[in-house]
């Protein structure tokens, strides 16, 4: 076995068409351990994303080219890369966990502005009690969901491919190993900053903050908008991106499941797909992670937890901001911006002229606290309708995705019976419909109906679809991975050949339990 901190230089280098940049490596020794991935025995392809491959300038048949399978399984080093595992810390389920880090992920480097990381690539110094591997089950789920979220317009990391192996991995049962290749402009997390702040390493804290600002938030340095303080303005920009991301989660009915600070992207990207779920029967208090016994990360708690995590980040950045008051001001941008974004998304879902999404700057949002700008269409009335719509869905446990899709078609056809059929309490629905039609009559019918079909997806990655795809893959049938990926990458299209993928979940789907074990 290779020494843990030695690159696999004895193996033949794989040459790729990518021009590699290793900016994170240049930060220096305090931030990572140089480390080669551990080989994955007898790897094979499970799935690839053409959309993600295009980000790297790879051709349509890139996976057929020699070396890629071995390189992205960790079996051969890639020319031009400087692989590493980064160190970070964080709060897990609200408790300080101390030092964490890339326990099973290796960053190869950066190409075309995207960091390329192998998740499931073996032990690192930060694996703690883990084995450094990922299993086929979780790798397929992360691969499909990363690409699905992107197609839904939700900020997210991306996934290039999954490779599998028959090598056994012990979880609750014996499973097989896999590696998912992830892409992101950066995988830096809130926990990276907590790590150095907790150790009093303020020089390293500043080095990392300056790297992120110069690379991804340059306006915060050239045009600081919060007290002429670059670091406070940057914190406010992170607050803005996080608020917008979580508003998108809530609008589409997405549950993350493990919103620890070490799972929060400094760029406001959805990352670390573990026990996630898209809502089936609408339940505001839904807990998608069966190990979350307290319900800390329940669906309706996600905005509050995001704000809590941002507070932890702000605390870590205080040595740089040097003003608790400015840090508080930065955090105060979260609630109004979240509400403004969420209300705009929900108005669009209802076909009531969604408020344009705010720019992701460090400036606080303008407008009313209830989320709408001064608009002739009464903002308070629409806000109340949104609230009552969700209450009605929760009352009858109506399927969240199907409701919105049927409402879109109903608006176009002026026939609401298919929507009414979803409800047990017909009088309550009829009363709601009268209010909805009164408001919707104020906007252009055909235009709004068409827009509704572009914001209310027909296809989301329901847990049962993931389970069916995974079970087929365990039997070496990877066609389901490709088929599900195809519809998830165009979730607003009808895809008549895959109508069954948009139906109600089977009865057994409610018994699926997803945990942090992957």
Active site amino acids? 262
β-bridge mates for residue 180, sequence order: 119, 162
Q: Distance between terminal CA atoms of the chain?
A: 24
Q: In terms of DSSP bridges, do strands 105-111 and 20-21 run parallel, antiparallel, or are they unpaired? A: antiparallel
Say how far apart CA 167 and CA 393 lie, in whole Å.
45
Tokens of 414: 């002026």
Angle in degrees, CA 189, 512, 393, rounded to 5: 85
Buried b (16+ CB within 10 A) or exposed e, 155-171: bbbbbbbbbbbeeebee
Tokens of 128: 């703690």
Judge whether 87 and 101 are in contact, CB under 8 Å. yes
SS3 at position 302:
helix
Q: Supply the DSSP symbol for 294.
A: T
SS (H, E, C) 213-247: HHHHCCHHHHCCCCCCCHHHHHHHHHHHHHHHHHH
SS3 at position 360:
coil
Q: 293: which residues sit within 8 A by CB, 6+ positions away?
A: none
The torsion of the CA quartet 415, 418, 422, 426, rounded to 10 degrees, works out to 40
SS3 at position 40:
coil
SS3 at position 52:
helix
SS3 at position 402:
helix
């Amino acid at each position: 076995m290779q020494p843990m901190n030695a690159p696999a230089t004895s193996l033949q280098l794989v040459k790729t068409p990518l021009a590699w940049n290793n900016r994170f490596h240049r930060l220096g020794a305090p931030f990572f351990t140089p480390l080669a991935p551990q080989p994955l025995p007898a790897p094979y392809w499970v799935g690839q994303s053409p959309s993600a491959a295009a980000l790297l300038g790879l051709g349509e048949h890139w996976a057929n080219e020699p070396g890629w399978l071995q390189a992205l399984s960790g079996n051969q080093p890639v020319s031009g890369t400087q692989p590493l595992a980064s160190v970070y810390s964080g709060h897990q389920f609200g408790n300080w966990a101390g030092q964490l880090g890339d326990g099973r992920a290796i960053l190869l480097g950066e190409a075309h502005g995207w960091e390329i990381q192998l998740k499931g690539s073996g032990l690192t110094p930060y694996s703690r009690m883990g084995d450094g591997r990922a299993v086929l089950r979780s790798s397929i789920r992360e691969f499909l969901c990363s690409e699905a979220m992107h197609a839904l317009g939700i900020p997210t990391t991306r996934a290039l491919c999954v490779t599998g192996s028959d090598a056994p991995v012990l979880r609750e049962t014996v499973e097989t190993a896999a590696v998912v290749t992830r892409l992101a402009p950066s995988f830096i997390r809130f926990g990276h900053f907590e790590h150095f702040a907790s150790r009093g390493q303020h020089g390293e804290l500043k080095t990392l903050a300056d790297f992120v600002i110069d690379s991804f938030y340059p306006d915060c340095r050239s045009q600081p908008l919060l007290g002429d303080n670059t670091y406070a303005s940057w914190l406010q920009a992170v607050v803005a991106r996080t608020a917008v991301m979580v508003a998108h989660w809530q609008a589409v009915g997405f549950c993350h499941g493990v919103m620890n600070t070490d799972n929060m992207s400094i760029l406001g990207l959805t990352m670390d797909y573990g026990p996630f779920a898209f809502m089936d029967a609408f339940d505001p208090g839904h807990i998608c992670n069966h190990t979350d016994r307290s319900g800390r990360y329940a669906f309706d708690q996600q905005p509050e937890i995001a704000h809590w995590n941002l507070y932890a980040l702000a605390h870590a950045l205080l040595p740089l901001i040097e003003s608790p008051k400015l840090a508080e001001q930065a955090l105060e941008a979260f609630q109004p911006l979240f509400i403004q974004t969420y209300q705009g998304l929900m108005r669009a879902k209802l076909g009531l002229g969604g408020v344009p999404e705010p720019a992701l700057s460090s400036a606080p949002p303008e407008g009313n606290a209830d989320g709408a700008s001064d608009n002739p269409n009464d903002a308070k009335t629409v806000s109340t309708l949104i609230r009552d719509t969700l209450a009605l869905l929760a009352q009858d446990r109506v399927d969240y995705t199907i409701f919105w899709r049927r409402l879109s078609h109903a608006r176009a056809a002026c026939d609401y019976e298919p929507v009414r059929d979803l409800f047990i309490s017909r009088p309550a629905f009829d009363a709601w419909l009268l209010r909805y039609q009164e408001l919707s009559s104020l906007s252009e019918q055909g235009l709004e109906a068409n827009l509704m079909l572009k914001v209310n997806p027909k296809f989301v990655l329901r847990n049962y679809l993931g389970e069916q795809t995974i079970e087929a893959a365990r039997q070496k049938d990877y066609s389901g991975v490709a088929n599900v990926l195809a519809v998830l990458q165009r979730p607003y299209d009808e895809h008549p050949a895959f109508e069954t993928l948009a139906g109600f979940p089977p009865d057994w789907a409610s018994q699926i339990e997803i945990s942090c074990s992957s």
